[in-house]
Amino acid sequence: MRKKRLISRRQAILTGLTSAGALLLSGCLKKAPPTYGNILRMGDDLTYIAQRGLLSQRALAMEYQKSDITSFPVTDIGDPADPASKNAYSKDYQQLQQNNYKDFALSVEGCVAKPRKYSVDDLKKLGARTQITRHTCEEGWSAIAEWTGVPLSAVLRDAGILQTARFVCFYGFDKYGESIDMLDAFHPQTILAHTMNGEDLPARNGAPLRLRVETQLGYKNVKFLQRIVVTDKFTDPGPDIKSGWSWYTGI
Ligand SMILES: Nc1nc2c(c(=O)[nH]1)N[C@H]1C(S)=C(S)[C@@H](COP(=O)(O)O)O[C@H]1N2
Ligand SMILES: [Mo]
């Protein structure tokens, strides 16, 4: 009896989920990243559809007080300024760092009317947002810092983002990359940070510019930014999916 009830409840939930999923899918098919068919990525679709369909798109990630700021652990990722870090090494980055990033300019390309390069000063003229947020790494640690940067929305608008734009890809000098959708790109807390805890962004935290996307896990926050490419098709420059890193990691 109990078993039967359980089963029918489960069936009801499943039917509910399926029809909700179908509804959301038909409504948001255009918004969903086309990762279907890839077994390793099937969980992504569910998380994405559930979060995008059921949660408020403008909800802000928790912001903290100055007294909550913690230290950041030293991560052992490759330093793009160090030839010993092999694949992560970038001669261009090493030269920029030797000159204290004076010649740095972020390239903004793709589905924008005015592709161009922005120095950090150019970006500062587009506005600033400061937020104290928690960074959560997939490896299990988290840390709180104050970030100041230009809202990504301001940069995309300045570059004349086209109506065909659907995703924004970020590339670091160390060849690391990630992409996000338009909802996260225009989220008010999504910023290109040049300042951490009131100081120029330190080298190991991604100088001179890094992405802060507070609605997702730490690995989406591309450091050592070199290039932003707006695309009309789903593009995932992220770590190989076989490593098990989801494209969408909403928190
Ligand atoms: N360019 C670049 N960005 C990156 C990474 C990287 O290896 N290269 N690692 C990511 C991961 S896994 C984490 S947890 C954070 C670490 O940021 P932190 O070094 O400021 O603590 O950066 C993210 N951004
Ligand atoms: Mo991480």
Q: Would you give the DSSP letter of residue 137?
A: -
Q: Ligand 1 pocket, 248 CB below 6 A?
A: no
Mutating to test ligand 1, I would choose from 74, 223, 243, 246 the residue with most ligand atoms within 8 A of its C-beta, which is: 223
Distance of alpha carbon 114 from alpha carbon 231, whole angstroms: 14
For the chain, what are the domain ranges? 1-60, 61-251
Q: Ligand 1 pocket, 203 CB below 6 A?
A: no
Tokens 């225009």, located at residue: 186
pLDDT at 10: 40
pLDDT means per 10 residues, the chain with 251 residues, are 41 40 41 59 76 78 97 88 95 98 98 98 98 95 98 98 96 96 96 98 97 95 98 87 78 83
Q: Which of 99, 38, 86, 71 is nearest to 205 (CA)?
A: 71
pLDDT at 51: 80
**Ligand 1 centre distance from Cα of residue 149 (Å):** 17
**Ligand 1 centre distance from Cα of residue 222 (Å):** 6
Q: Ligand 1 pocket, 64 CB below 6 A?
A: no
Both tokens of 102, joined, read 């004076």
217-242 per-residue burial string, b: 16 or more CB within 10 A, e: under 16: bbbbbbbbbbbbbbbeeebbbbeebe
**Ligand 2 centre distance from Cα of residue 221 (Å):** 9
Q: Ligand 1 pocket, 174 CB below 6 A?
A: yes
Q: Which of 165, 77, 64 is nearest to 113 (CA)?
A: 165
- In angstroms, what is the C-alpha Rg of the chain? 20
**Ligand 1 centre distance from Cα of residue 51 (Å):** 24
**What is the second-level CATH architecture of the domain 61-251?**
Alpha-Beta Complex (3.90)
Give this prediction's pTM.
0.85
